[in-house]
Chain A
Amino acid sequence: DGGITQSPKYLFRKEGQNVTLSCEQNLNHDAMYWYRQDPGQGLRLIYYSQIVNDFQKGDIAEGYSVSREKKESFPLTVTSAQKNPTAFYLCASSSPVLFRAAGANVLTFGAGSRLTVL
Protein backbone atom coordinates (compact mmCIF):
# COMPACT_ATOMS: atom_id res chain seq x y z
CA ASP A 1 0.00 0.00 0.00
CA GLY A 2 1.23 3.48 -0.82
CA GLY A 3 1.71 5.89 2.01
CA ILE A 4 4.00 7.88 4.24
CA THR A 5 6.06 6.24 6.96
CA GLN A 6 7.33 8.30 9.85
CA SER A 7 9.75 7.00 12.44
CA PRO A 8 10.19 6.83 15.30
CA LYS A 9 6.63 7.14 16.57
CA TYR A 10 7.82 8.33 19.97
CA LEU A 11 11.16 9.92 20.76
CA PHE A 12 12.67 11.29 23.93
CA ARG A 13 15.55 13.72 23.83
CA LYS A 14 17.70 15.37 26.42
CA GLU A 15 18.19 19.10 26.20
CA GLY A 16 21.11 20.02 23.98
CA GLN A 17 20.82 16.98 21.72
CA ASN A 18 20.00 16.97 18.03
CA VAL A 19 17.49 14.40 16.84
CA THR A 20 16.45 13.36 13.34
CA LEU A 21 12.91 12.33 12.40
CA SER A 22 12.54 10.10 9.39
CA CYS A 23 9.90 10.50 6.66
CA GLU A 24 9.66 8.13 3.71
CA GLN A 25 6.93 8.05 1.03
CA ASN A 26 6.24 5.58 -1.75
CA LEU A 27 3.51 7.64 -3.41
CA ASN A 28 5.85 9.08 -6.03
CA HIS A 29 4.86 12.54 -4.85
CA ASP A 30 7.10 15.44 -5.80
CA ALA A 31 6.49 17.70 -2.83
CA MET A 32 7.06 16.93 0.84
CA TYR A 33 6.36 18.94 3.98
CA TRP A 34 7.05 19.02 7.69
CA TYR A 35 4.47 20.42 10.08
CA ARG A 36 4.51 20.86 13.81
CA GLN A 37 1.31 20.41 15.83
CA ASP A 38 0.89 21.83 19.32
CA PRO A 39 -2.31 21.86 21.41
CA GLY A 40 -4.42 24.88 20.53
CA GLN A 41 -2.06 25.94 17.71
CA GLY A 42 -3.11 23.95 14.68
CA LEU A 43 -0.50 22.83 12.17
CA ARG A 44 2.43 25.10 11.45
CA LEU A 45 4.72 24.62 8.48
CA ILE A 46 8.41 24.06 9.27
CA TYR A 47 9.96 23.26 5.88
CA TYR A 48 8.82 22.09 2.49
CA SER A 49 10.47 20.70 -0.61
CA GLN A 50 9.01 20.69 -4.09
CA ILE A 51 11.84 18.82 -5.80
CA VAL A 52 14.95 16.85 -4.90
CA ASN A 53 17.89 18.90 -3.61
CA ASP A 54 15.70 21.94 -3.03
CA PHE A 55 13.72 23.06 0.02
CA GLN A 56 12.24 26.23 1.48
CA LYS A 57 11.66 27.50 4.99
CA GLY A 58 8.14 27.57 6.29
CA ASP A 59 6.73 29.76 9.04
CA ILE A 60 8.72 28.28 11.94
CA ALA A 61 12.02 27.00 10.47
CA GLU A 62 14.32 28.30 13.20
CA GLY A 63 16.05 25.46 15.06
CA TYR A 64 15.24 22.89 12.37
CA SER A 65 17.07 21.56 9.32
CA VAL A 66 16.09 19.26 6.46
CA SER A 67 17.58 17.54 3.44
CA ARG A 68 16.03 16.14 0.26
CA GLU A 69 18.60 13.90 -1.37
CA LYS A 70 16.01 11.43 -2.64
CA LYS A 71 12.47 11.93 -3.87
CA GLU A 72 11.17 9.40 -1.34
CA SER A 73 12.87 10.81 1.74
CA PHE A 74 12.65 14.09 3.66
CA PRO A 75 14.27 13.81 7.11
CA LEU A 76 13.87 16.56 9.69
CA THR A 77 16.58 17.36 12.25
CA VAL A 78 15.49 19.12 15.41
CA THR A 79 18.59 20.90 16.62
CA SER A 80 19.55 22.05 20.08
CA ALA A 81 18.80 25.58 18.90
CA GLN A 82 15.06 24.84 18.87
CA LYS A 83 13.86 26.42 22.11
CA ASN A 84 10.70 24.39 22.63
CA PRO A 85 10.94 21.17 20.62
CA THR A 86 8.37 19.07 22.48
CA ALA A 87 5.56 18.59 19.94
CA PHE A 88 3.87 16.25 17.49
CA TYR A 89 5.63 16.35 14.10
CA LEU A 90 3.78 15.50 10.92
CA CYS A 91 5.26 14.79 7.52
CA ALA A 92 3.10 15.19 4.42
CA SER A 93 3.40 14.90 0.67
CA SER A 94 1.51 16.11 -2.36
CA SER A 95 1.54 15.99 -6.11
CA PRO A 96 0.64 18.56 -8.76
CA VAL A 97 -1.26 15.77 -10.49
CA LEU A 98 -3.49 15.48 -7.41
CA PHE A 99 -4.00 19.24 -7.40
CA ARG A 100 -5.16 19.25 -10.99
CA ALA A 101 -7.40 16.22 -10.51
CA ALA A 102 -8.95 17.37 -7.25
CA GLY A 103 -8.77 21.13 -7.78
CA ALA A 104 -7.58 21.39 -4.20
CA ASN A 105 -4.50 21.30 -1.99
CA VAL A 106 -4.51 17.59 -1.25
CA LEU A 107 -1.96 16.63 1.37
CA THR A 108 -1.30 13.05 2.44
CA PHE A 109 0.00 12.85 6.00
CA GLY A 110 2.05 10.32 7.88
CA ALA A 111 1.03 9.06 11.32
CA GLY A 112 3.35 11.51 13.08
CA SER A 113 6.26 11.43 15.49
CA ARG A 114 5.89 12.65 19.05
CA LEU A 115 9.05 14.24 20.40
CA THR A 116 9.45 14.89 24.10
CA VAL A 117 12.39 16.79 25.54
CA LEU A 118 13.31 15.68 29.04
Chain B
Amino acid sequence: QKEVEQDPGPLSVPEGAIVSLNCTYSNSAFQYFMWYRQYSRKGPELLMYTYSSGNKEDGRFTAQVDKSSKYISLFIRDSQPSDSATYLCAMSATQGAQKLVFGQGTRLTINP
Protein backbone atom coordinates (compact mmCIF):
# COMPACT_ATOMS: atom_id res chain seq x y z
CA GLN B 1 0.00 0.00 0.00
CA LYS B 2 1.33 3.43 -0.95
CA GLU B 3 1.73 5.99 1.79
CA VAL B 4 -0.26 8.52 -0.23
CA GLU B 5 -3.04 7.61 -2.64
CA GLN B 6 -4.43 10.00 -5.21
CA ASP B 7 -6.89 9.23 -7.97
CA PRO B 8 -4.94 9.81 -11.20
CA GLY B 9 -8.05 10.71 -13.18
CA PRO B 10 -8.25 12.04 -15.78
CA LEU B 11 -10.96 14.37 -14.53
CA SER B 12 -12.84 16.51 -17.04
CA VAL B 13 -15.38 19.15 -15.99
CA PRO B 14 -17.10 22.14 -17.65
CA GLU B 15 -15.92 25.66 -17.02
CA GLY B 16 -17.42 27.18 -13.89
CA ALA B 17 -17.83 23.85 -12.08
CA ILE B 18 -16.60 23.20 -8.56
CA VAL B 19 -13.75 20.71 -8.61
CA SER B 20 -12.80 18.45 -5.73
CA LEU B 21 -9.39 16.78 -5.72
CA ASN B 22 -8.53 14.33 -2.96
CA CYS B 23 -5.73 12.35 -1.35
CA THR B 24 -5.73 9.75 1.36
CA TYR B 25 -2.72 8.76 3.40
CA SER B 26 -1.72 6.08 5.84
CA ASN B 27 1.01 7.71 7.95
CA SER B 28 -0.60 9.39 10.95
CA ALA B 29 2.63 11.33 11.57
CA PHE B 30 2.05 13.54 8.51
CA GLN B 31 1.24 17.08 9.57
CA TYR B 32 2.43 19.29 6.68
CA PHE B 33 0.19 19.13 3.60
CA MET B 34 0.75 20.75 0.24
CA TRP B 35 -0.82 20.97 -3.18
CA TYR B 36 1.35 21.49 -6.24
CA ARG B 37 0.08 22.33 -9.72
CA GLN B 38 1.94 21.08 -12.76
CA TYR B 39 1.22 22.29 -16.27
CA SER B 40 2.08 20.02 -19.17
CA ARG B 41 5.85 19.65 -19.73
CA LYS B 42 6.62 21.96 -16.79
CA GLY B 43 7.82 21.52 -13.24
CA PRO B 44 5.32 21.58 -10.35
CA GLU B 45 4.65 24.86 -8.55
CA LEU B 46 3.38 25.20 -5.00
CA LEU B 47 -0.29 26.13 -4.95
CA MET B 48 -1.30 25.83 -1.31
CA TYR B 49 -0.12 24.40 1.97
CA THR B 50 -1.66 23.69 5.34
CA TYR B 51 -0.31 22.62 8.67
CA SER B 52 -2.24 20.03 10.67
CA SER B 53 -6.04 20.00 10.37
CA GLY B 54 -8.42 22.64 9.13
CA ASN B 55 -9.23 24.69 6.08
CA LYS B 56 -7.28 27.31 4.20
CA GLU B 57 -8.68 29.51 1.47
CA ASP B 58 -6.84 31.45 -1.22
CA GLY B 59 -9.04 33.03 -3.85
CA ARG B 60 -10.87 30.28 -5.72
CA PHE B 61 -8.87 27.55 -4.00
CA THR B 62 -9.61 25.91 -0.65
CA ALA B 63 -7.41 23.28 0.97
CA GLN B 64 -8.95 21.05 3.59
CA VAL B 65 -7.30 18.57 5.94
CA ASP B 66 -9.08 15.94 8.00
CA LYS B 67 -6.40 14.20 10.03
CA SER B 68 -8.88 11.93 11.79
CA SER B 69 -9.82 10.42 8.43
CA LYS B 70 -6.33 10.84 6.93
CA TYR B 71 -7.86 12.69 4.02
CA ILE B 72 -7.02 15.96 2.32
CA SER B 73 -8.89 17.86 -0.36
CA LEU B 74 -8.39 20.74 -2.73
CA PHE B 75 -11.50 22.56 -3.94
CA ILE B 76 -11.49 24.83 -6.96
CA ARG B 77 -14.47 27.14 -7.33
CA ASP B 78 -15.52 28.75 -10.61
CA SER B 79 -13.03 26.59 -12.48
CA GLN B 80 -11.31 28.11 -15.51
CA PRO B 81 -9.64 26.51 -18.55
CA SER B 82 -6.35 27.87 -17.19
CA ASP B 83 -6.81 25.53 -14.20
CA SER B 84 -6.27 22.56 -16.53
CA ALA B 85 -3.17 20.85 -15.14
CA THR B 86 -2.03 17.93 -13.02
CA TYR B 87 -2.50 18.48 -9.31
CA LEU B 88 -0.16 16.73 -6.91
CA CYS B 89 -0.68 16.41 -3.20
CA ALA B 90 2.41 16.18 -1.00
CA MET B 91 2.89 15.72 2.69
CA SER B 92 5.49 15.19 5.37
CA ALA B 93 5.85 14.56 9.05
CA THR B 94 8.64 17.08 9.48
CA GLN B 95 9.24 20.52 8.07
CA GLY B 96 12.20 19.39 5.98
CA ALA B 97 11.42 19.04 2.27
CA GLN B 98 13.61 15.98 1.93
CA LYS B 99 10.89 13.92 3.57
CA LEU B 100 8.07 14.93 1.23
CA VAL B 101 5.85 12.13 -0.03
CA PHE B 102 3.90 12.87 -3.21
CA GLY B 103 0.65 11.46 -4.50
CA GLN B 104 0.42 10.18 -8.06
CA GLY B 105 -1.18 13.38 -9.33
CA THR B 106 -4.67 14.00 -10.78
CA ARG B 107 -4.89 15.23 -14.33
CA LEU B 108 -7.65 17.86 -14.57
CA THR B 109 -9.17 19.36 -17.72
CA ILE B 110 -11.60 22.28 -17.59
CA ASN B 111 -13.67 22.45 -20.78
CA PRO B 112 -14.75 25.90 -22.06
Contacts and interface: CB of A to CB of B under 8 A. Distances in A.
B46 interface: yes
A48 B46 CA distance: 19
Interface stretch (B14-22, B71-79, B91-99): B91-99
Interface stretch (A39-47, A61-69, A78-86): A39-47
B90 interface: yes
A22 to B, nearest CB: 14
Interface in B1-49: 4, 6, 8, 32, 34, 36, 41-46, 49
Contacts of B43: 4, 6, 90, 92, 109-112
B57 to A, nearest CB: 16
Contacts of A105: 32, 34, 49, 90, 92, 95-97, 99-100
Interface string B74-111: 00000000000000101010011111101111000000
B46 A42 contact: no
Contacts, number: 73
Nearest to B46: A106
A12 interface: no
A112 B34 contact: no
Contact of A94 (B90, B97, B104): B97
A58 to B, nearest CB: 8
Interface of B: 4, 6, 8, 32, 34, 36, 41-46, 49, 51, 88, 90, 92, 95-100, 102-105
Interface of A: 4, 6, 31, 33, 40-45, 48, 50, 56, 58, 90, 92, 94, 99, 102-107, 109-112
11 contacts: A33-B98, A42-B6, A43-B90, A45-B98, A90-B44, A92-B43, A92-B97, A99-B97, A104-B46, A105-B34, A105-B49
